[in-house]
Amino acid sequence: MVRASLMLLKDAGRGVCKSLSQILVCPLSKQPLRYSEETNSLISDAIGVSFPIKDDIPCLVPMDGKIIEADDMPKTDGAADLSSKNNQ
């Protein structure tokens, strides 16, 4: 019952409690983190590193971070426009 209560505190489909996600930052860059539902991880776009969430616990020890390959980084609007122009 306690576990169910814990889950209700989280956003639907989110691995981290909303109030916690608002105060967590990248331990290295101190910049905000972005939650990735696809990989259930916290992304530091500032330095291109992702931190896993395991058993609902964000793992934010610097050594836990994995460098995101360039192809996996989210494309900006500019990059997407450039890509579509090249394909024409």
Partner 1 sequence: MALCIPLPSCRFRHRPVRSSLERQELFGRIAPVYDNLNDLLSLGQHRIWKRMTVSWTGAKMGDCALDLCCGSGDLAFLLSEKVGSNGKVIGLDFSKEQLSIASCRQGLAPNACYNNIEWVEGDALELPFLMVTLMPLQWVMGYEMWLIKKEPCRRCSRVSVLDFNKSTQPFTNLIQEWMIDNLVVPVATGYGLAKEYEYLKSSIKEFLTGKELERLALQVGFSNARHYEISGASWGTW
Among 13-21, 66-74, 75-83, which window interacts with partner 1 (CB under 8 A)? 13-21
Residues that contact partner 1, how many (by CB under 8 A): 28
Cα separation of 25 and 51, whole Å?
11
Q: Which of 15, 26, 43, 50 binds partner 1 (CB under 8 A)?
A: 26
| Closest residue by Cα to residue 9 from 21, 27, 26, 25 | 21
Q: Which of 12, 61, 69, 70 binds partner 1 (CB under 8 A)?
A: 61
Among 24-32, 67-75, 78-86, which window interacts with partner 1 (CB under 8 A)? 24-32
Question: Rule CB under 8 A: is residue 46 a binding residue for partner 1?
Answer: no
Tell whether the torsion through CA atoms of 17, 19, 20 and 26 is positive or negative.
positive
